[in-house]
Structure 1
Amino acid sequence: MQSEERDEYVDESEFSELAKSPAEARAVKKALEMVAGGGAGNTLKEMAQEVLTGRIGLREALNVSAYTEQVAQQSDSVRDRWDGMSEREREALAADGERHLEELQREIDEEQSEKMRSGTSKSAPRHSGGTWSP
């Protein structure tokens, strides 16, 4: 069933207004996909599935009190872990995040290159005008 739901998911462009780059938009989508798997509890699973299927926007979802309460609880846990880290651990985590975003950007670039390569090997567009005659 999850693969059926995944087919219906919005693409990462849905998150581009919230992100600074296509890689960040992809990271948001991947994070929502993980949450939709249920690891963060049923309430956030529901929220992620609603957002990923396009039934509600992410900004709208964050205005739903049940979702906001769960996000706040999760944020407290993350903040507690962050506060317990040394400066070196924080720097390492930040570097890991940067590497992850770079990896996502490489994926995006490769996908775009592949689309360009496969697009150039196709025949002329149907409406190119090259075969038109009165």
Structure 2
Amino acid sequence: MNNERQIQDEDLMDVAQDPEQAHRLRKALKTLADNPNVGGKLQEMAKEVLSGRIGMKDAIATPTYMDALGDRIGEMRRAAENQTQAERESSREQFATWQKKQEEQEDKERAERDGPSGNIVTTPRHGRGGSSHRR
């Protein structure tokens, strides 16, 4: 993404419900944009949104971008359906480890964003209330 202008979390508030969700969305877009394995229209969309050349609402309304997203989700679903029970268990364990690291990283980033405080109070993460992905 070189020296291009980069949007900030606030620029995604037209589609996000709160600043935390906007931050996670921008982070996900950056992951898509920077991962050479993504490629194609999905990576193009992420780069376009991050550079500010297209808004997230416009990207969502673009059939080629949404088709690319749907195709990728379909690939993921098929891969999950073809896993053995042992592979599923391993995936669950890997996901739990990954999720814990992500939460720790998000907590660290939130603390850095919020600045120094004598009484650090964290708010609950949105969308993580259940444990439906765990046993």
Q: TM-score range by the shorter chain?
A: 0.5 to 0.7
Q: Give the number of the structure with larger relative contact order, counting CA–CA contacts within 8 Å between residues 6 or more apart.
A: 1
Task: Identify unmatched segments of 5+ residues in structure 1.
Answer: 117-134
Corresponding residue number in structure 2 for 1:50: 48
> SS of 2:43's equivalent?
helix
> Displacement of 1:21 after TM fit?
5.8
- Per the alignment, residue 4 of structure 1 pairs with 3
Count the aligned residue pairs.
Answer: 112
The yes-or-no answer on 1:61 pairing with 2:59 is yes
Q: Does 1:34 align with 2:36?
A: no
Considering only aligned residues, what root-mean-square deviation do their CA atoms show, in Å?
2.9
Q: Deviations over 1:70-108 (max 9, x none)?
A: 111111112223333525633641552254034213212
Query: What pairs up with 1:1-134 in 2 under 5 angstroms?
Result: 2-5=1-4, 8-16=5-13, 17-18=15-16, 22=20, 24-37=21-34, 38-83=36-81, 84=83, 85-86=87-88, 89-90=91-92, 92-94=94-96, 96-114=98-116
Following the alignment from structure 2 to structure 1, what is the Cα–Cα distance between the partners of residues 10 and 98?
24
Q: CA deviation at 1:65?
A: 1.0
* Structure 1 residue 42 displacement after superposition: 2.8
Of 11-20 and 35-44, deviating more is 11-20
Q: Which runs of 5+ in 2 are unaligned?
A: 118-135
TM-score (norm 2): 0.64
Q: Could you say which structure has the larger radius of gyration?
A: 1
Name the structure where helix makes up a greater proportion of residues: 1
